[in-house]
């Protein structure tokens, strides 16, 4: 599997659960559930996602989001499902300029093998026999070393996935993230740490429109007709504020999506 250098646009919306059914109904003619996704306990099609994030000890990337810098970076290890299922592990380097995202991503091993590779598994993969794994491990290791990054939080959620029935299924997607929780970590070896806190209330989901090039007409129509307003919703930053910055509650308040600001 080659290293993917993806350039795309992402629009995020925080939507109360009681409105998400209306969103799905409004786009029913344009999308279908991802046929490759898991069947979740809820009956939805999607994935259980676990992402371990890296930042500097003084939280440079978190501060960039808090200060609303136009250019932001995310460095993470991602896997899916549950412990013992041998799910794939991906290394990801992500840069964001406003709504546009450039992401380097490659599958490098499975979760069970990852846990046996030592304290810095990405470095153990520098000698992998697969060229794409060596390449991505090298890119990841260089960024971690040069910037001085360390793992700090792991974010978990259920992601429902829809794909555009009239487009390349990898180019146009709609996702809804629910049940978002987070854990403090100091190591990236265990990709399934037990959740410690809720990041958003359980009655709010994060809707994302993801597309290459021009925004599909059905996306614009759905957002307009339903009164949706795109806004930054950073699961990483919210998790850091909730877990690592508890002495600064105003930061968590600033990062809350508009539908929750001022809510009890």
> Tens digits of per-residue pLDDT, 22-39?
999 999 999 999 988 999
The pairing of strands 31-33 and 204-211 is unpaired
| Residue 43 belongs to some domain of the structure | yes
CATH assignment at residue 64: 3.20.100.30
| Residue 120 belongs to some domain of the structure | yes
| Residue 95 belongs to some domain of the structure | yes
Per the structure, the count of domains in the chain is 1
- pLDDT score of 263 more than 60: no
Domain that holds residue 203: 4-255
| Residue 262 belongs to some domain of the structure | no
Mean pLDDT of 35-55: 93
Please tell me the predicted confidence (pLDDT) of residue 264: 43
Q: How far apart are CA 55 and CA 75, in angstroms?
A: 7
Please tell me the predicted confidence (pLDDT) of residue 5: 57
Please tell me the predicted confidence (pLDDT) of residue 166: 74
pLDDT in tens, 139-171: 999 999 999 999 999 999 999 999 988 765 457
Residues of the chain with pLDDT > 70, as a percent, come to 95
Please tell me the predicted confidence (pLDDT) of residue 171: 75
| Residue 263 belongs to some domain of the structure | no
pLDDT in tens, 173-231: 899 999 999 999 999 999 999 999 999 999 999 999 999 878 888 999 999 999 999 99
| Residue 201 belongs to some domain of the structure | yes
- pLDDT score of 70 more than 50: yes
| Residue 191 belongs to some domain of the structure | yes
| Residue 261 belongs to some domain of the structure | no
More confident position, 41 or 93:
93
């Amino acid at each position: 599997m080659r290293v993917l250098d993806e350039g795309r646009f992402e629009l995020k919306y925080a939507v109360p659960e009681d409105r998400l059914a209306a969103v799905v109904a409004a786009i029913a003619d344009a999308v279908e559930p991802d046929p490759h996704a898991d069947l979740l306990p809820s009956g939805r099609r999607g994935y259980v996602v676990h992402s371990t994030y890296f930042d500097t000890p003084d939280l440079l990337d978190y501060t960039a989001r808090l200060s609303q810098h136009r250019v932001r970076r995310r460095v993470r290890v991602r896997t899916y499902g549950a412990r013992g299922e041998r799910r794939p592990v991906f290394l990801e380097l992500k840069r964001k300029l406003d709504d546009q995202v450039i992401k380097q991503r490659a599958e490098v091993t499975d979760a069970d093998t990852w846990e046996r590779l030592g304290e810095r598994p990405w470095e153990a993969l520098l000698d992998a026999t697969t060229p794409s794994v060596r390449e991505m491990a090298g890119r990841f290791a260089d960024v971690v070393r040069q910037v001085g990054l360390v793992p700090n939080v792991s974010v978990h959620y259920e992601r429902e996935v829809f794909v555009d029935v009239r487009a390349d299924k990898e180019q146009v997607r709609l996702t809804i993230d629910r049940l978002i929780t987070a854990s403090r970590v100091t190591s990236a070896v265990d990709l399934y740490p037990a959740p410690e806190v809720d990041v958003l209330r359980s009655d709010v989901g994060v809707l994302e429109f993801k597309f290459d090039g021009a925004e599909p007409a059905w996306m614009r129509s759905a957002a307009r007709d339903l009164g949706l307003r795109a806004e930054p919703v950073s699961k990483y930053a919210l998790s850091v504020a909730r877990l690592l910055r508890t002495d600064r509650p105003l930061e968590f308040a600033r990062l809350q999506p508009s539908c929750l600001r001022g809510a009890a």
